[in-house]
Amino acid sequence: MLKPLIIIAGPTGVGKTDIAHRLALEMNGEIVSADSRQIYRYLDIGTAKPSLEFRGQIPYHMIDIVDPDEDFSVADFKQQAEGIIDQIHLQGKLPFLVGGTGLYIKSIVSGLFPSPPPDLPFRRKLQEEASLLGTNHLHQRLSAIDQTAASKISNNDLRRIIRALEIYQQTGKPISCLQRLATITKDYHLIMICLNQDRQRLYAQISLRVDRMIETGWVKEVRGLLEKGYSPKEGGFSNPPIGQECLPPFRLTSMEALGYQQIIKHLQGIYTLQEAIDKIKQSSCQFAKRQLTWFRADPRYVWLEPDNMAEIRKVIAA
């Protein structure tokens, strides 16, 4: 008999944490976070981590596991999360995989495609090209070799563009072809729920949540990150050691978390606080729309409104 795994997915601000927490309390469950920003220590308010009260009531996993300047890949997530899910099953409990990072969830329910390790010199070369010629130049290069991938990757998403070009450079195969080779490495009895609600109501909730984050000290949190030395950009020596090349600056993945860039620009005097708040709200709504598009591509999801707890329980019990 396959062991159960409950997926609670959905866009930012829809209420995944509250719903999953209630269900886990009721069903003797534990929660495995599938959020690519909650893995970072010190990024608390802006990533909407579960409260300490929640985390004292039931176990939460995959939260606060790396520092903001540490690398953490989807493959790392898959390996660690699957081990945790196994341990939850061994304890006779019910695992809930909860979050809005579609790629994290996909790595568990559909597997990962075979991909080569990073080629840092090639990445640096492409970074330099992007600095000189613009990100759109690299996106056009990707489109020439892999129109399918280019159509799914924003021409502003430099990290994913570089990764797609890097894989083609190393394998001679488009990333879109390799992605079709993904296989499930573990079999679960999957119950996949995606929470959603009326778009205007969702956007209103996002706006209120951003306001609450600001009120509870988000700006102070970002200032503290900068004071700890977690600059928006890392890497590079102004005077490199002998035999070590001077590398161009690279952006910290952690500091690309939704809203952090806008608050950093406020602290740098580029935006007023209100301008930063408005831009965070706009970006958050756009992000929610992209998340919904991602989840709609998987027909296994059952779409439910967060207010309908009775139906959510019914789907899980079926």
pLDDT digits (tens, 9 = 90+) for 39-81: 999 999 999 999 999 999 999 999 999 999 998 989 899 999 9
Give the separation between CA 232 and CA 223, rounded to whole angstroms. Answer: 12
Overall average pLDDT of the 89-105 stretch: 97
CA distances from 190 to 8, 41, 163, 186, 296 (A): 11, 30, 30, 11, 17
**Averaged over 27-47, what is the pLDDT?**
97
Residue 229 labelled as part of a binding site: no
Give bridge partners of residue 288 from the DSSP assignment: none
Give the integer Cα–Cα distance in Å for 206 and 200. Answer: 10
Residue 56: predicted pLDDT: 97
Predicted confidence at residue 275, as pLDDT, reads 98
- In the chain, % of residues over pLDDT 70: 92
pLDDT at 251: 65
Structure tokens at 172: 């001679």
Q: Is 11 annotated as a binding residue?
A: yes
Our CA angle for 180, 181, 187, nearest 5°, is 110
Specify whether the CB–CB gap between 105 and 5 falls below 8 A.
no
Give the pLDDT of residue 294: 94
User: pLDDT band at residue 148, thresholds of 50, 70 and 90?
Assistant: very high
Looking at residue 233, its pLDDT comes to 61
Query: What is the arithmetic mean of pLDDT over 88-116?
Result: 93
Name all domains of the chain by residue range, CATH numbers in brackets.
3-112+185-197+292-317 (3.40.50.300), 120-179 (1.10.20.140), 201-289 (1.10.287.890)
For the beta sheet containing 29-33, the strands, ordered from the edge strand earlier in sequence to the opposite edge, are 60-61, 29-33, 94-99, 3-9, 188-195, 302-304
Instruction: Identify the residue with better confidence: 241 or 293.
Output: 293
Integer Cα distance of 96 and 99 in angstroms: 10
- How buried is residue 14: exposed, middle or buried, by Cβ count under 10 Å (0-12/13-18/19+)? buried
Angle at the Cα of 316 from the Cα atoms of 189 and 25, rounded to 5 degrees? 110
**Is 210 assigned to a binding site?**
no
Lowest mean pLDDT among 7-21, 47-61, 64-78, 237-251: 237-251
Helices (H), the chain: 16-26, 52-57, 74-90, 102-109, 120-133, 135-145, 147-152, 158-171, 175-179, 199-215, 218-227, 260-267, 273-296, 309-317
Structure tokens at 143: 């489109």
Q: Residue 184: which pLDDT band, with cuts at 50, 70 and 90?
A: low
pLDDT band at 239 (very low <50, low <70, confident <90, very high): very low
134 among annotated binding-site residues: no
Its pTM stands at: 0.84
- For the chain, the average pLDDT equals 90
Q: Give, for 189, the enclosing helix (H) or strand (E).
A: strand 188-195
For residue 117, say whether it is annotated as part of any ligand binding site.
no
Please check if 66 is assigned to a binding site.
no
Q: What is the DSSP string of 191-239?
A: EEEEE---HHHHHHHHHHHHHHHHHTTHHHHHHHHHHTT--SEE---SS
**Is 12 part of any known ligand binding site?**
yes
260: how many CB neighbours lie within 10 A of its CB?
24
Residue 115 banded pLDDT, cuts 50, 70, 90: confident
pLDDT at 113: 76
Q: Is 236 marked as binding a ligand?
A: no
pLDDT value of residue 172: 92
